């Protein structure tokens, strides 16, 4: 898949097939995270990969907005040894775009940080940022819900040229 298409066509997918992600595809996703730049190259991100069913389901039970995570093939938690929102976001998008280029859908979610830390044994002082569910997408249910059907504001509204 062309890089531009992988970026522009990626949409967040919350319905997954019960098909595991092969180890090499998962490794490519993690490599995409690893190679993403970070502020001063401090590499604050740590990744907790959860793919055993009990763990995935337990994560899905932590928030009403993350129930769909229960059916993900894998959930990756971005946890940071130094809190840095921009670096977490870059890492998240790298993983999601790399996954999409391999035909794997994904969606980020915000779960209660303390509950995630308790469940996964993430130590004090390590900041839980966001989690991302990954999985192959059911083609019959791939279309976005009409309510959010890839609405984006027009460029004219988002972009200021030369000055605000
Ligand atoms: C930081 C962040 C947190 C998010 N948290 C959730 C969440 O908890 N639950 C959820 O269903 N979607 C969550 N989303 C997904 C957004 O709803 C999604 O990006 C938006 O609707 C655009 O979707 P689209 O790319 O499919 O158009 C989150 C997205 C971001 C960037």
Q: What is the pLDDT of residue 140?
A: 81
Q: What is the pLDDT of residue 74?
A: 98
Q: Would you say the CB of residue 151 lies under 6 angstroms from ligand 1?
A: no
Give 61: exposed, middle or buried? Use CB within 10 Å, 0-12, 13-18, 19+: middle
Q: Are strands 104-109 and 74-80 parallel, antiparallel or unpaired?
A: unpaired
Q: What's the topology of domain 3-139?
A: NADH Oxidase (3.40.109)
Distance 162 CA to ligand 1 centre (A): 30
Q: What is the pLDDT of residue 1?
A: 79
Q: What is the pLDDT of residue 151?
A: 83
Using CA positions, which residue lies closest to atom 4 of ligand 1?
A: 109
Q: What is the pLDDT of residue 144?
A: 66
Q: What is the pLDDT of residue 142?
A: 75
Give CA–CA dist 113/122, Å, rounded.
10
Q: What is the pLDDT of residue 149?
A: 66
Q: What is the pLDDT of residue 131?
A: 98
User: Cβ contacts of residue 7 below 8 Å, gap of 6+?
Assistant: 97
Give CA–CA dist 164/107, Å, rounded.
32
Using CA positions, which residue lies closest to atom 3 of ligand 1?
A: 109
Q: Domain ranges in the chain?
A: 3-139
Q: Would you say the CB of residue 148 lies under 6 angstroms from ligand 1?
A: yes
Q: What is the pLDDT of residue 148?
A: 63
Q: Split the chain (164 residues) into runs of 10 and give each run's mean pLDDT.
A: 89 94 98 97 98 98 97 98 98 98 96 98 98 92 69 93 98
Tell me the three state secondary structure of residue 139. Answer: helix
- Cβ density class 31-41: b for 16+ within 10 Å, e for less: ebbeebebeee
Dihedral of CA atoms 120, 122, 126, 127 in degrees, nearest 10, equals 20
Q: Would you say the CB of residue 11 lies under 6 angstroms from ligand 1?
A: yes
Q: What is the pLDDT of residue 145?
A: 65
């Amino acid at each position: 898949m062309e890089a531009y298409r992988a970026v522009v066509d990626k949409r967040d997918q919350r319905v997954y097939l019960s098909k595991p992600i092969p180890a090499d595809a998962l490794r490519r996703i993690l490599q995409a995270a690893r190679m993403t730049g970070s502020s001063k190259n401090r590499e604050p991100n740590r990744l907790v990969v959860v793919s055993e069913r009990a763990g995935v389901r337990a994560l899905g039970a932590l928030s009403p907005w993350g129930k769909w995570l229960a059916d993900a093939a894998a959930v990756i938690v971005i946890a940071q040894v130094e809190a840095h929102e921009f670096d977490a976001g870059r890492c998240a998008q790298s993983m999601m775009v790399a996954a999409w280029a391999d035909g794997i859908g994904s969606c980020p979610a915000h779960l209660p940080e303390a509950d995630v830390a308790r469940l996964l044994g993430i130590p004090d002082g390590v900041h839980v940022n966001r989690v991302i569910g990954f999985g192959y997408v059911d083609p019959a249910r791939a279309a976005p819900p009409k309510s959010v059907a890839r609405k984006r504001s027009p460029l004219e509204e988002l972009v200021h040229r030369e000055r605000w």
